[in-house]
Amino acid sequence: MIKNLEKIAPDEEILEGDFISTFFQNEDCNELSVYIKNGDIIDYAEKCVEHFNSLSDDVIDEICHGLVESCHLSDEDFDLPELEDVREILEYCWFYELIVDVPENDGISYVVGGEGDWGEVVGFVIKDGKLAYVGVDYEDYL
């Protein structure tokens, strides 16, 4: 459920709010921001948040594998310790925003952005309800 929803600027259509994430966290807690590109799609944004909060274990594992790969591809000077479980990568990165744009079709699509301890922004893209991308170029999907 999205709360504290308000316009970012009086002359813009973009709304900002926050929600509680059931799995992913930011650097302080499990409250993430949501940005809605158009005030007419608030109900759709709620569906995107609901989808985000019910990602399957398989999709979460895919996201984590993509984050590990992104870390290894980074040019930054960061040594990722050996992980016993792929989800341990989440100790080295955090997420802070879910961005919802006007839908192209009936499918659920959104972008999630964050950062890694390896010094790069990182995120993932859900397109038509499926994981479409994990890595540093997630903003290209906006």
Confidence band, pLDDT 50/70/90 cuts, at residue 45? very high
pLDDT at 76: 76
DSSP 140: G
d(CA 24, CA 125): 14
Any idea where the domains of the chain sit in the sequence?
Answer: 3-141
Whether the predicted pLDDT of 75 surpasses 90:
no
Q: Which tokens hold the place of 122? A: 């990182």
- Percent of the chain beyond pLDDT 70? 100
Cβ proximity of 14 and 37 under 8 Å? yes
Place of tokens 């994430």: 21
Distance of CA 45 to the CA centre of its chain: 13
Residue-level pLDDT at 98: 97
Query: What pLDDT, on a 0 to 100 scale, did the predictor assign at position 26?
Result: 77
| C-alpha to C-alpha distance for 140 and 97, rounded to whole angstroms | 15
Model pLDDT, residue 115? 94
pTM of the prediction?
Answer: 0.92
